[in-house]
Amino acid sequence: MIPAPFDYVAPTTLEEALTALSEHGDVAKIIAGGQSLLPVLRMRLNAPEWVIDLGRIETLRGVRDDGDALVIGAMTPHSVVAADPLVAEHAALLARATATVADEQVRHRGTFGGALAHADPAGDLGAPARALGAQLVIAGPGGTRTVEADDFFRGLFETAITEDEILTEVRIPKHPGWGAHYEKFVRVAHQWPIVAVGASVKVEGGTIAGAAVGLTNMGSTPLRARAVEAALVGQAATEEACRAAAEKAVEGAEPPSDLNGDADYRRHLVTVLTRRALLAAIADAGA
Ligand SMILES: Cc1cc2nc3c(=O)[nH]c(=O)nc-3n(C[C@H](O)[C@H](O)[C@H](O)COP(=O)(O)OP(=O)(O)OC[C@H]3O[C@@H](n4cnc5c(N)ncnc54)[C@H](O)[C@@H]3O)c2cc1C
């Protein structure tokens, strides 16, 4: 289908974009890579009168080092995040998860910020961002505020971003030397996961010294599996410890039932995938 008609503006600065947003308010929609928004418009699930394109705002792109954190601009395409050496070194889980998103065409157009703002519970980037303790920087008419990933995802396709705000960048605390793996279970290639698990671990002298685990499509928002993390830290990095910790992945999860599988199937799947993800992350850490 063809989208309903809309007016289009492509500002070159964040300030201009915020002004356009405040002028057009609830009849405006931001477009980043368009990979999720355009299907929505084509199916006429949304019909904004204005579309504000962030694609010409260069300051929203790129990855930079900021001391203890990496900063990823909201308009940075998935293909750049997946290949960036700083992300590979300090937030390997994010690099691994991003590399599994869709296909190359989608990864070249789709953006990190767009994926987080879209907040699809089956999206691959929310759970790794949560597990790594990301902070989301949001600009609005009153200035800029920072929201912890734990508070950012509010519900199905719902975030802390309000109608007059723009997600500008995401700060990811560095995890140097942590092993990482993203275990994604799909029915067909290049698709959203039925369930996926992102795991990152720090191993010191054969003992798990740190763990960050996120679950995709196990609830209406990306989840952080804190019970799994707590069960791992201080344990020897063994298969038995991973198996026992993985059993806790269902705690607090409310998985959906759909044509790909019912909730009980997902509850079983998540324990299997968590164990696999943890073992692969431990191997990646060189333990
Ligand atoms: C065929 C196909 C397969 C896909 N497979 C996967 C997959 O396997 N895994 C996966 O995770 N994703 C998948 N995706 C989605 C893809 O990752 C998208 O890139 C992503 O969901 C949206 O990013 P975008 O930049 O295209 O955002 P857009 O589509 O432009 O925007 C999405 C939403 O976010 C809002 N928004 C965007 N940027 C901002 C911002 N900076 N501030 C505030 N609001 C903003 C928009 O207004 C819109 O509501 C797939 C998409 C397609 C088309």
Instruction: Give 117 Cα–ligand 1 centroid separation in angstroms.
Output: 8
Q: Whole-prediction pTM value? A: 0.97
Instruction: Give 115 Cα–ligand 1 centroid separation in angstroms.
Output: 4
- How far apart are the C-alpha atoms of 224 and 212, rounded to whole Å? 8
Q: For residue 179, is it left (φ>0), alpha (ψ between -120 and 50) or beta? A: beta
Best mutation site among 37, 49, 116 for ligand 1 pocket (most ligand atoms within 8 Å of CB): 37
Segment 255-272 shows an average pLDDT of 97
What integer best gives the mean pLDDT of the chain? 97
Nearest CA to ligand 1 atom 6: 102
Q: What is the CA radius of gyration of the chain?
A: 19
Whether the pLDDT of residue 160 is over 80: the answer is: yes
- How far apart are the C-alpha atoms of 102 and 74, rounded to whole Å? 18
How high is the pLDDT of residue 287?
72
Segment 180-202 shows an average pLDDT of 95
Instruction: Give 123 Cα–ligand 1 centroid separation in angstroms.
Output: 9
What does DSSP say about strands 207-216 and 223-224: parallel, antiparallel, or unpaired?
antiparallel
Spatial contact of 279 and 238, defined as CB atoms under 8 Å apart:
no
Whether the pLDDT of residue 25 is over 90: the answer is: no
Residue-wise DSSP of 82-141? HH-HHHHHH-HHHHHHHHTSS-HHHHHH-BHHHHHHHT-TT-SSHHHHHHTT-EEEEEET
Planar angle of CA 204, 208, 209, nearest 5 degrees: 70
Instruction: Give 116 Cα–ligand 1 centroid separation in angstroms.
Output: 8
- How far apart are the C-alpha atoms of 196 and 209, rounded to whole Å? 23
How high is the pLDDT of residue 249?
98
Instruction: Give 126 Cα–ligand 1 centroid separation in angstroms.
Output: 12
**Where does ligand 1 bind, in terms of residues with CB under 6 Å?**
29-37, 54, 74, 101-102, 106, 110-111, 113-115, 117-118, 123-125, 161, 166-167, 191-192
Nearest CA to ligand 1 atom 14: 102
How high is the pLDDT of residue 191?
86
Instruction: Give 178 Cα–ligand 1 centroid separation in angstroms.
Output: 28
Instruction: Give 114 Cα–ligand 1 centroid separation in angstroms.
Output: 5
How high is the pLDDT of residue 26?
86
Nearest CA to ligand 1 atom 2: 102
pLDDT category, 185, cuts 50, 70, 90? very high
Whether the pLDDT of residue 1 is over 90: the answer is: no
Spatial contact of 92 and 180, defined as CB atoms under 8 Å apart:
yes
- Nearest ligand 1 atom, CA 165: 43
How high is the pLDDT of residue 189?
86
